[in-house]
């Protein structure tokens, strides 16, 4: 259904390579392309938060001189959850075959 599309320019090199690998194995419909884009963005956001935490540490100072959890902990957690959920929706674990080129539906969505 979809042509081999280039990844969005704002993705990291690593994530852009994953984008290309996915499109090299699967033919995605337009709504799956959106899920793939969101998954890539969530992965990059998670990695960005991880880099900040590696640099700054898990805590940050407060105005009163105490410590609190670094805000990037929540950013990393939320991005991980988003990535995992989007990956589940794409269901790329299924073996691509000529008669089934797009990811199958979730088992929980089948009736």
Reported as a single tens digit per residue, the pLDDT across 60-97 is 999 999 999 999 999 999 999 999 999 999 988 766 55
pLDDT digits (tens, 9 = 90+) for 18-35: 999 999 999 899 999 999
104 lies in a domain?
no
82 lies in a domain?
yes
pLDDT at res. 111: 47
Residue 52, CA distances (Å) to 12, 34, 62, 84 in order? 16, 27, 18, 21
Own/partner pairs for 66-73, CB < 8 Å, 24+ apart?
A: 73/49
Count of Cβ atoms closer than 10 Å to residue 88 Cβ: 13
How many domains does the chain contain in total? 1
98 lies in a domain?
no
106 lies in a domain?
no
Phi-psi bin for 57: left (phi > 0), alpha (psi -120 to 50), beta?
left
> What residues make up the domain containing 72?
13-93
Tell whether the model's pLDDT for residue 38 goes beyond 50: yes
100 lies in a domain?
no
Cα(1)–Cα(40) distance, integer angstroms: 20
Say which residue, 19 or 100, is predicted with more confidence.
19
């Amino acid at each position: 259904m979809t042509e081999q599309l280039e990844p969005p320019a704002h993705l990291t090199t690593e994530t852009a390579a994953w984008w290309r690998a996915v499109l090299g194995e699967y033919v995605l419909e337009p709504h799956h392309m959106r899920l793939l884009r969101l998954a890539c963005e969530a992965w990059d956001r998670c990695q960005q938060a991880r880099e900040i935490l590696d640099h700054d540490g898990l805590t940050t100072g407060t105005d009163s001189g105490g410590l609190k959890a670094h805000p990037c902990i929540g950013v990393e957690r939320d991005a991980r959850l988003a990535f995992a959920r989007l990956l589940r929706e794409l269901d790329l674990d299924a073996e691509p075959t000529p008669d089934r080129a797009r990811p199958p539906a979730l088992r929980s969505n089948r009736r």
